[in-house]
Amino acid sequence: MTITPTTLYWILMLDNFRGLMLGIMLLFIISAFMFTACTFSEIFDGKTDAKFKKGLIKFTLVTYFLITISASAYTLLPSTKQMATIIVAPKLINSNFVQEGLQKEAKELYGMAKSYLKEQLTEPKKEK
C-alpha cells in the first residue's frame, strides 16, 4: 500500500473526527439526561396520554442507544498518531534497510566498540 496525499489527508483528519464524535456523544448525553427527566415526570404525572408516554420512553431509549454508538465510535476510531503508526511501522520494520543494512551496521559498530575497549584495557597507560 502506498501512502497517497488523500490517505495522508484522512489520517491527519482522524483527530477531528474523534473530536466530532466526542461532541456528538456529549450532546446525546445531555439530551438523554433531559429526556430521562421528562420521562420520569410524565410517568408519575397522571394527566398525560399513554401514547405520549410510550413515545417519550422510546425516544429516550433511542438516545441511550445513540450514546452507546457514538461512544463506541469515539473509542474505536484511532487517533492520527495511532493510524500513522499502524501504516508506517510495518513498512519501516519490513524494509530492506532495517532487515539487512541495519544489522550489518550494528555488527560493524559493535566490533569497532569491542576492539576499542580491548585496546584501552590492554595498552599500558602513559603517564605525563
Mean pLDDT of successive 10-residue segments in the chain (128 residues)? Answer: 82 89 92 85 75 83 91 90 85 76 79 85 71
75: three-class secondary structure by DSSP? helix
Domain locations along the chain = 5-77
- Note the pLDDT of residue 126: 66
DSSP 98-116: IIIIHHHHHHHHHHHHHHH
pLDDT of 97 reads: 73
Q: How much is the pLDDT for 110? A: 82
Give the pLDDT score at 1.
Answer: 66
Give the Cα separation of 66 and 72 in Å (integer).
10
